[in-house]
């Protein structure tokens, strides 16, 4: 009962945040015009609502849910509550290839940048598989290799920023994560990925539950650990790569959403996956909405806002983990 109420509350909050996001910005849309525009009636604000803000809201919902679901998978896979796509280097890999395209091929078509980001996420995953100790993918070695890879990719991004300062503004905007200018092309390109991959992630809830028991428990229950981990890793990378390709490098969503879901719904992934996806969408919508209200008519990139929201919670998690181990 409690879990169902939590899912319903997260969904209602998503609708509320979506409506306020559609209404707010440099131009405030009255609720009467907002409803009329959504119902298909022509109003002075119809173009702003339907062509600018609605695809932006949809992109935020899809990307937030994708990053959060990837975080659930990675935390269960590595058995580390501090794991997330940005912590183990997948997000950084996507950011490095995107930055390389911006700097080295500035005249590339717009569709090349998302493809490059997705390719970078895949490359980071392959490197993780190759460098993990004896390909056993043990949680400890996997997490350490991921952190090291993320540092290498971050160093590569910094090098590109120093060597090619002419495009630094666009790169910093993309690297901080932004929903600015996200139209229907981006939203519709992300939609099939999330619509397909989220149900697949939910269907893995039994396997994720078993992996929480450790290697011995998983083997005793008949789970082939290595294929299971590789399959789940591929799923997390696909969710991360498609989301980062749409909105840029946004951190903390994949880290704190699973924790909030776990506190509310417990450790069963049957509930954690959908609840975490809804919480991730809520957090990204909240960050984007606040970022547009702070310095109107300018915007604070949503990645900065999610960092402001998520950093205190991350510090709390570190302190709690230290106390638990002590």
pLDDT at 163 over 60: yes
- The residues, ordered by sequence, that sit 6+ positions from 139 with a Cβ below 8 Å of its Cβ are 77, 78, 79, 80
- Residue 211's pLDDT is 77
**pLDDT tens digits for 136-156?**
555 556 667 778 888 888 888
Cα→Cα distances 216→72, 75, 134, Å: 21, 18, 18
Residue 7 in tokens: 């899912």
Question: Could you give phi then psi for residue 55, rounded to 5 degrees?
Answer: -65, -30
Q: Tell me which range, 28-42, 54-68, 106-120, is most confidently predicted by mean pLDDT.
A: 54-68
This prediction has a pTM of 0.87
% the chain with pLDDT above 70: 87
58 confidence band (pLDDT: 50, 70, 90): very high
Mean pLDDT score across all residues of the chain: 82
127: Cβ contacts below 8 Å, ≥ 6 apart: 93, 149
Q: What pLDDT, on the 0 to 100 scale, is given for residue 135?
A: 44
The angle that helices 168-176 and 302-325 make with each other, rounded to 10 degrees, is 50
Q: What is the pLDDT of residues 99-128, one digit of tens each?
A: 888 778 877 776 777 778 888 888 888 887
Domains in the chain: boundaries: 2-325
**The pair of three-digit structure tokens given for residue 45, joined into one six-digit string:** 């604000």
172-207 pLDDT tens trace: 766 777 888 788 888 888 899 899 999 999 998 888
In a 3-state reduction of DSSP, which class is residue 110? coil
pLDDT in tens, 203-233: 988 888 887 776 665 565 566 667 777 888 8
Where b means 16+ CB within 10 Å and e means fewer, 179-198 reads beebebebbebbbebbeebb
- DSSP string over 43-109: -TTHHIIIIIIHHHHHHHHHHHHHHHHHHHHHHHHHT-TT--TTTTTHHHHHHHHHHHHHHH-TT--
Name the phi and psi angles at 88, rounded to 5.
Answer: -95, 10
**pLDDT at res. 216:** 60
* pLDDT attached to residue 201: 93
What lies within 8 Å, CB to CB, of 155 at 6+ separation is: none
Condensed to tens digits (0 to 9), the pLDDT of residues 231-288 reads 888 899 889 888 888 888 888 898 889 989 988 888 788 999 999 999 999 999 999 9
User: What are the tokens at 50?
Assistant: 């339907």
| Most confident of the following: 18-27, 72-81, 126-135, 140-149 | 18-27
Question: How many separate helices (H) and strands (E) can be counted in the chain?
Answer: 15, 0
Assigned superfamily of 2-325: ABC transporter involved in vitamin B12 uptake, BtuC (1.10.3470.10)
């Amino acid at each position: 009962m409690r879990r169902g109420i939590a899912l319903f509350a997260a969904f209602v909050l998503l609708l509320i945040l979506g409506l306020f996001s559609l209404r707010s910005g440099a131009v405030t849309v009255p609720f009467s015009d907002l409803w009329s525009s959504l119902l298909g009636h022509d109003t002075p604000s119809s173009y702003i609502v339907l062509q600018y803000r609605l695809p932006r809201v949809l992109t935020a919902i899809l990307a937030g849910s994708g990053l959060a679901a990837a975080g659930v998978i990675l935390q269960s896979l590595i058995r580390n509550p501090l794991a997330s796509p940005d912590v183990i280097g997948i997000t950084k890999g996507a950011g490095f290839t995107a930055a390389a395209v911006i700097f080295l091929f500035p005249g590339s078509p717009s569709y090349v940048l998302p493809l490059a980001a997705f390719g970078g996420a895949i490359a980071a995953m392959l490197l993780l598989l190759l460098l993990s100790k004896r390909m056993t993918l043990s949680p400890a070695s996997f997490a350490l290799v991921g952190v090291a890879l993320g540092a290498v990719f971050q160093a590569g991004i910094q090098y590109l920023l120093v060597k090619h300062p002419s495009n630094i503004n666009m790169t910093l905007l993309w690297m901080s994560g932004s929903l600015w200018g996200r139209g229907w092309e981006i939203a519709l390109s992300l939609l099939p990925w999330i619509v397909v991959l989220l149900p697949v992630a939910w269907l893995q809830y039994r396997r994720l539950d078993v992996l929480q028991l450790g290697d011995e428990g998983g083997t005793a229950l008949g789970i082939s650990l290595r294929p299971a981990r590789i399959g789940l890793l591929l799923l997390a990378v696909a969710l991360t790569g498609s989301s980062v390709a749409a909105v840029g490098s946004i951190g903390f969503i994949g880290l704190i959403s699973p924790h909030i879901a776990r506190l509310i719904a417990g450790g069963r992934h049957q509930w954690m996956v959908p609840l975490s996806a809804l919480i991730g969408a809520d957090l990204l919508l909240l960050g984007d909405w606040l970022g547009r209200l702070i310095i109107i008519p300018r915007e604070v990139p949503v990645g900065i806002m999610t960092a402001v929201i998520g950093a205190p919670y991350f510090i709390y998690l570190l302190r709690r983990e230290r106390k638990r181990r002590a």
